Amino acid sequence: MKALVKTKKGVGFIEVRQVPEPTPGPGEVKIKIAACGVCGTDIHVRHDSFPYWPPVILGHEFTGTVVELGPECCSLQEGDRVVAEPHTRACGHCYLCRTGNIQICAEKRSPGWGIDGGMAEYICYPENLLHRIPAGMTWDQAAVVEPVANAVTDLLLRSKVVAGDTVVIQGPGPIGLMCAMVARAAGAREILVIGTPGDVELRLATALDLGFRTVIIGDLDPVDVVMDITQGIGADLVVECSGSAEAISMIPDLVRKKGRICVIGLTGGREIRVPWDKFAFKVAELSFNLSTEYEAWDRTIAMIHSGQVPAERLITHRVPIENWRTVFDDIENLMALKGLIFPSLEDLLGDSNKNKE
């Protein structure tokens, strides 16, 4: 079968290869992949800046159809359409696993870097990590469930967005825009998306098209804008998705006292100096976020399928697996938001809005 493989350590070394078709083991099902999203993790693996165990098939944002059941499977059937939690190889014994937090188990090895992922024609996957999707859900919608589940985990389950909140999003990349959508679906009164001049052409233009208010750093002072729309109080929630030192330092000027700060963006390993006392005097709740909680998944599927979170509108690239380089390059050059890789030309060429069984 065809697969996009990171072949060895080092920058680059990614190619489409013919690899053996997998066979499901106990508790696993075999899935025919319909589409797989490209994540920042895949870009980091390309540049040797994220842990991985080559040779490994890339991709963890995949969706497809169950075509074979392994021994001991009991909940899925052939023909079921599914999406997958990327929490494979959690140990099951540590205090995190025992308290239901397999997503941050130190032993976890997710598809796409720790084990073979979804940028291939088939994958075998643990049945207990799969979720059925509704019959009317398109492959495009299903392929963005995993990243939206991050936003649902971070904003709804951990940062507790409620109706009437004023929410500021720093960083208008795919996750930032998904967070804005989730905040709106939760009833936020005001949502402000902050970006840089480099974000104007695609990212902030998309935010505007989705109906969000935007601020370009350098044109306006985001703090002045936030204070104007909150009558000098500050935002109820600041969502940091940029990883920028300047944006992080701005947070205590944006958030209200007793507000909330949701940290999602990573700095790439850089040390960041912060005005610690300004943070302390805001008496704000601070949450650092990584990966998805179980409860988020079915909520996310329902929110996307109902149209409350139209995250498929962020898809800018849909390409066959052989054209993977175009998507990776455009994401790196801020010329793409969300890209999908299609192993099958039939799924790629079909109308995504009718691609349902």
Torsion angle of alpha carbons 336, 150, 43, 59, nearest 10°? -100
Yes or no: say if 127 and 24 are a contact pair by the CB < 8 Å rule.
no
- For residue 332, what is the enclosing H or E element? helix 324-332
Average model confidence (pLDDT) for the chain? 96
Per residue in 223-267, pLDDT (tens digit) is 999 999 999 999 999 999 999 999 999 999 999 999 999 999 999
Yes or no: say if 121 and 1 are a contact pair by the CB < 8 Å rule.
yes
- pTM, full prediction: 0.95
Yes or no: say if 217 and 195 are a contact pair by the CB < 8 Å rule.
yes
CATH topology classification for 149-288: Rossmann fold (3.40.50)
- Where do the domains of the chain lie? 2-132+310-349, 149-288
Yes or no: say if 124 and 66 are a contact pair by the CB < 8 Å rule.
no
**Per-residue pLDDT at 322:** 97
pLDDT of 349 above 90: no
**Per-residue pLDDT at 346:** 81
pLDDT band for position 354 (50/70/90)? very low
HEC secondary structure over 200-255: HHHHHHHHHHCCCEEEEECCECHHHHHHHHCCCCCEEEEEECCCCHHHHHHHHHHE
* Domain with residues 2-132+310-349, CATH architecture: Alpha-Beta Complex (3.90)
State how far the Cα of 4 lies from the Cα of 121, in Å rounded to an integer. 10
Per residue in 157-168, pLDDT (tens digit) is 999 999 999 999
**Residue that the structure tokens 């329902």 belong to:** 302
